[in-house]
């Protein structure tokens, strides 16, 4: 198999993993506005040059960022509501319901009942302003330039997403395949006459995206100034109930009614003994190859405008993927099908020669998946929490690591390292203590030190491990449908981390030769 050169030329780095939703804020969920300022200060003082986040798309049932309503849109919940007040389009009184939400958890149910209504009010007030007043307010709301120009520039994805969002409101949140005709078909829906309320909702959805991307541009500028690059994530699959599945069904393996023939997931593995039924429709890699490749080109181009580095989630799916018959609904009854393989990455390399990508290769890999990963030259992943099961040949142990690797204490799918050690078997704890010559009393810090001192090109530490959090602070439990993605860091915890943890982290990042300023700003990761 041929070898592509997706390897990096950068030196050793360190990063921290914290999703935007977990940032401290006054409004019930972290945001990309002032909420991020304190964390960027922490990253800079601690010597972290990467900030890894989960996907930023709008979420639905289950609140998972890996099941988004759009592959291109931003989550309106991540807008900083303070901009509404500074633009004089919302009063302090109208922000009170958000301020009353928990500062330690994301209450997505409460956010759903409050945030969209507030955005709609702000949108209506904005469009009711005179042209000159709109220009003044727009400067407070968004750095994305003129609203109309933003809509035209992003029409390829924004038109379908805004209509999808508006129709979802109209039809009480039901998935698109349950909408009445002509709306369940995008080609027909975009020609249909809309009532005033739905037209207003279309404009409101466009307005929210304009604000999100304008605020995100300011967020990126602040990150660059702090010497921090954003490490993003692309979920391999689309949600069935998404704007893209609705507007571009030809790229997916659906029947004429829009029902998937097979859905995505994984077979039984160490994350879940019964496997995982994700339910995402699969790409029609063979029947619609050109359309699927074109979609991925757009998707990666969009992501590279937002992130300096990208992780391809579930990398194995590009080599071979688990196809579960939709009607069976049992992850154990899937079959392996062949993915697009090296040809797909040859295509991406041609389009994005300077793109920096990471292969998420966790789980049980086939020989073909290993060959594909190695042939791309992309850094792979390893996780310290997986290192002490098995024997001395365990690929997650520090002495077995490749240099071309991103090494994690844990990921968003793991419990915290403190909780891992507390609940590990005595055999695993014994191996851990003997391997690192430690008592295990501060297992999370032993793991942080080990990851940073490892040979891996990049070491990434979860913020929960830095804060010595227990298992109640884990982000996601694979196979569990609800109660995930809720943890948030408080301002008190962040201030303590800046004051007490950052100096030590910087000292060991320096000792491990990881204090290298970013070599790129992301501006070279453009499509050719």
* Active-site choice (320, 360, 361, 446): 360
Q: Any catalytic annotation for residue 343? A: no
d(CA 126, CA 210): 12
Q: Any catalytic annotation for residue 313? A: yes
Nearest 5 degrees, angle CA 525-CA 338-CA 185? 75
Q: Any catalytic annotation for residue 441? A: no
Q: What is the DSSP letter of 316?
A: G
Whether the CB-CB separation of 378 and 6 falls below 8 Å is answered with yes
Structure token pair of residue 483:
């109660």
List all residues 6 or more positions away from 67 whose beta carbon is below 8 Å from its beta carbon: 59, 60, 61, 235, 239, 278, 280
Whether the CB-CB separation of 56 and 188 falls below 8 Å is answered with no
* Active-site choice (217, 298, 368, 413): 413
d(CA 506, CA 14): 10
List all residues 6 or more positions away from 61 whose beta carbon is below 8 Å from its beta carbon: 67
d(CA 163, CA 156): 12
List all residues 6 or more positions away from 241 whose beta carbon is below 8 Å from its beta carbon: 60, 69, 175, 176
d(CA 316, CA 229): 26
Nearest 5 degrees, angle CA 326-CA 179-CA 278? 30
Strands 262-266 and 320-325: antiparallel
Whether the CB-CB separation of 340 and 318 falls below 8 Å is answered with yes
d(CA 312, CA 351): 16
Whether the CB-CB separation of 309 and 521 falls below 8 Å is answered with no
Count of other CB atoms within 10 angstroms of residue 181 = 9
Strand 405-408: give its sheet, edge to edge: 357-359, 309-312, 229-234, 50-52, 13-17, 458-462, 405-408, 380-383
Structure token pair of residue 72:
């291109």
Whether the CB-CB separation of 274 and 477 falls below 8 Å is answered with no
At residue 154, the 3 state secondary structure works out as coil
* Residue spans of alpha helices (H) in 171-248: 186-189, 196-225, 243-247
Structure token pair of residue 135:
């220009």
Beta bridge partners of 30: none
Strands 335-338 and 320-325: antiparallel
Count of other CB atoms within 10 angstroms of residue 333 = 12
* Active-site choice (233, 313, 419, 465): 313
* Residue spans of alpha helices (H) in 377-425: 417-423
Catalytic residues: 313, 360, 413
């Amino acid at each position: 198999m041929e070898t592509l050169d997706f390897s990096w030329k950068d030196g050793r780095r360190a990063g921290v993993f914290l999703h935007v939703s977990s940032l401290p804020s006054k409004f019930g969920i972290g945001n990309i506005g002032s909420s991020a300022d304190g964390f960027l200060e922490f990253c800079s003082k601690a010597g972290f040059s990467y900030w890894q986040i989960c996907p930023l798309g709008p979420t639905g049932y289950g609140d998972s960022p890996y099941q988004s309503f759009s592959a291109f849109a931003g989550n309106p919940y991540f807008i900083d509501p303070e901009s509404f007040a500074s633009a004089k389009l919302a009063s302090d009184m109208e922000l009170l319901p958000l301020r009353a939400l928990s500062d330690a958890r994301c209450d997505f149910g409460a956010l759903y009942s409050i945030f969209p209504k507030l955005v709609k009010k702000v949108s209506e007030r904005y469009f009711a302003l005179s042209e000159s007043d709109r220009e003044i307010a727009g400067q407070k709301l968004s750095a994305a330039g003129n609203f109309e120009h933003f809509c035209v520039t992003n029409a390829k994805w924004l038109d379908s997403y805004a209509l999808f969002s508006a129709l979802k409101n109209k039809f009480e949140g039901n998935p698109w395949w349950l909408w009445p005709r002509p709306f369940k078909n995008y080609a027909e829906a975009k020609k249909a006459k809309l009532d005033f309320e739905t037209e207003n909702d279309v404009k409101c959805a466009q307005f929210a995206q304009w604000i999100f991307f304008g605020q995100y541009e300011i967020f990126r500028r602040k990150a660059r100034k702090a010497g921090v690059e954003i490490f993003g994530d692309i979920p391999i699959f689309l949600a069935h109930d998404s704007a893209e599945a609705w507007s571009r069904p030809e790229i997916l393996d659906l029947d004429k009614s829009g029902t998937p023939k097979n859905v995505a997931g994984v077979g039984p593995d160490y994350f879940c003994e019964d496997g995982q039924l994700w339910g995402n429709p699969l790409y029609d890699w063979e029947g619609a190859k050109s359309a699927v490749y074109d979609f991925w080109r757009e998707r990666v181009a969009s992501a590279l405008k937002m992130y300096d580095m990208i992780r391809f989630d579930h990398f194995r799916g590009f080599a071979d993927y688990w196809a579960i018959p939709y009607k069976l609904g049992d992850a154990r009854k899937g079959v392996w099908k062949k993915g697009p393989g090296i040809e797909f990455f040859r295509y991406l390399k041609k389009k994005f020669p300077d793109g920096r990508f990471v292969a998420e290769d966790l789980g049980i890999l086939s020989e073909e998946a290993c060959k594909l990963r190695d042939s791309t030259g992309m850094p792979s992943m390893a996780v310290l929490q997986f290192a002490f099961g098995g024997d001395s040949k365990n690929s997650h142990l520090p002495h077995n690591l490749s240099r071309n690797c991103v090494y994690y204490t844990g990921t968003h799918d793991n419990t915290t390292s403190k909780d891992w050690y507390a609940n590990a078997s005595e055999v695993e704890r014994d191996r851990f203590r003997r391997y690192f010559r430690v008592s295990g009393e501060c297992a999370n810090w032993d793991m942080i030190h080990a990851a940073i001192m490892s040979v891996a090109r990049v070491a990434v530490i979860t913020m929960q491990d830095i804060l010595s959090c227990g298992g109640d602070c884990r982000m996601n439990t694979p196979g569990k449908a609800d109660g995930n993605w809720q943890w948030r860091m408080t301002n008190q915890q962040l201030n303590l981390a800046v004051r007490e943890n950052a100096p030590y982290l910087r000292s060991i990042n320096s000792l491990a030769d990881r204090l290298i300023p970013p070599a790129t700003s992301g501006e070279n990761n453009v499509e050719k």
